């Protein structure tokens, strides 16, 4: 590989790392807890869900799961929080950095990638804490292959929607108000709070049409030793989202020409 090819790649990687570092540092700048909130926020939310759904609503874990409902819940909820954070922040990646888009010449798409990466970094940190606690005091068992596949599959699922949302949010500002409700719908249609066995047979199609189900499945397999999603189904979804990632990025690049004028 020639130096002329390597240098732009090095500059892009350096810029990406700086944007991720800046995003992580800015999130908690000025707060007393600082970066500790990256772990405290999801843990507080997970504690609330655990209290409500294990002590009040009393949803049972899967019949063949030897751990507690709290472990079952957290292993699915933490990846979902990462996905939600990645999509929400990607949607505003361009509008939040309007001063850079208007004043500098650089690959604007890197702002979207940085938003996704920072969300996945925070997710990885929270999963590490969960893995240590669950492995030390619960039924957790770490399996690296499903975790690696889970992160890769998750990034692929997020890529296309993230680019499409980032571009559309510049052109139609009302989209930001719709993302939250749409994500709430996906959340409750995904077996995160409840095991798949509780879904009525007549609604099984909703599970099969939901790729987030398999994202959660891989993380539960990697953290709790449960059965991973079928390879065939995963390959089908991966092919679909590879196409969506291409189309989302293409739409973003075509829309980029008018960003400076709209912003």
Tens of pLDDT, residue by residue over 22-59, are 888 777 666 665 667 777 777 787 788 888 887 888 88
pLDDT at 9: 75
Q: Are 164 and 171 in contact (CB under 8 A)?
A: no
Count CA atoms within 13 Å of residue 198 on its CB side. 14
Could you give the CA distance from residue 122 to residue 100 in angstroms, rounded to a whole number? 24
Q: Are 62 and 86 in contact (CB under 8 A)?
A: no
Could you give the CA distance from residue 68 to residue 64 in angstroms, rounded to a whole number? 11
Share of the chain above pLDDT 70, in %: 91
| Neighbour count for residue 174 (Cβ, 10 Å) | 8
Q: Which residues contact 112 (CB under 8 A, 6 or more apart)?
A: 90, 93, 94, 162, 163, 166, 252
Q: Are 46 and 74 in contact (CB under 8 A)?
A: yes
Q: Which residues contact 15 (CB under 8 A, 6 or more apart)?
A: 106, 110
Q: Are 38 and 28 in contact (CB under 8 A)?
A: yes
Per-residue pLDDT at 5 exceeds 60: no
Average pLDDT of every residue of the chain: 86
| Dihedral sign from CA coordinates of 60, 62, 66, 72 | negative
Could you give the CA distance from residue 174 to residue 192 in angstroms, rounded to a whole number? 28
Q: What is the mean pLDDT of residues 87-107?
A: 80
pLDDT at 32: 65
Token pair for residue 109? 């798409």
Q: Are 50 and 73 in contact (CB under 8 A)?
A: yes
The larger pLDDT score, comparing residue 244 to residue 255, is at 244
Q: What is the mean pLDDT of residues 118-136?
A: 88
Per-residue pLDDT at 75 exceeds 90: yes
| Weakest mean pLDDT among 35-39, 107-111, 217-221 | 35-39
Per-residue pLDDT at 209 exceeds 80: yes
Q: Are 262 and 170 in contact (CB under 8 A)?
A: yes
Q: Provide the angle, in degrees to the nearest 10, between the axes of the packed helices 37-51 and 3-27.
A: 60
pLDDT at 132: 85
Torsion of CA 50, 54, 55, 59, to 10 degrees: 140
| Weakest mean pLDDT among 4-8, 138-142, 247-251 | 4-8
pLDDT at 29: 65
The larger pLDDT score, comparing residue 256 to residue 85, is at 85
- pTM for this predicted structure: 0.88
Torsion of CA 221, 240, 162, 112, to 10 degrees: 90
Per-residue pLDDT at 83 exceeds 60: yes
């Amino acid at each position: 590989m020639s130096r002329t090819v390597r240098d732009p790649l090095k500059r892009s990687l350096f810029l990406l790392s700086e944007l991720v570092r800046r995003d992580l540092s800015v999130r908690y700048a000025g707060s007393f807890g600082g970066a500790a909130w990256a772990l405290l926020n999801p843990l507080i939310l997970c504690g609330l869900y655990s209290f409500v759904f294990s002590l009040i609503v009393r949803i049972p874990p899967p019949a063949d799961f030897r751990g507690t409902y709290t472990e079952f819940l957290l292993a699915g909820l933490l990846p979902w929080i990462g996905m939600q954070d990645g999509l929400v922040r990607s949607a505003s990646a361009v509008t939040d950095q309007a001063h850079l888009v208007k004043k500098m010449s650089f690959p604007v798409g890197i702002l979207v990638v940085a938003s996704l990466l920072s969300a996945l970094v925070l997710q990885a940190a929270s999963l590490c804490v969960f893995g240590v606690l669950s492995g030390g005091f619960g039924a957790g068992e770490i399996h690296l292959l499903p975790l690696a596949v889970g992160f890769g599959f998750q990034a692929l699922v997020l890529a296309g929607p993230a680019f499409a949302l980032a571009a559309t949010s510049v052109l139609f500002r009302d989209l930001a108000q719709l993302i939250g409700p749409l994500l709430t719908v996906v959340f409750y249609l995904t077996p995160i709070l409840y095991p798949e066995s509780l879904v009525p047979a007549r609604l099984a199609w909703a599970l099969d049409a939901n790729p987030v189900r398999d994202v959660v499945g891989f993380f539960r397999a990697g953290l709790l030793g449960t059965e991973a999603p079928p390879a065939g189904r995963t390959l089908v979804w991966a092919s679909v989202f590879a196409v969506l990632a291409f189309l989302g990025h293409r739409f973003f690049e075509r829309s980029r020409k008018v960003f400076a004028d709209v912003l």
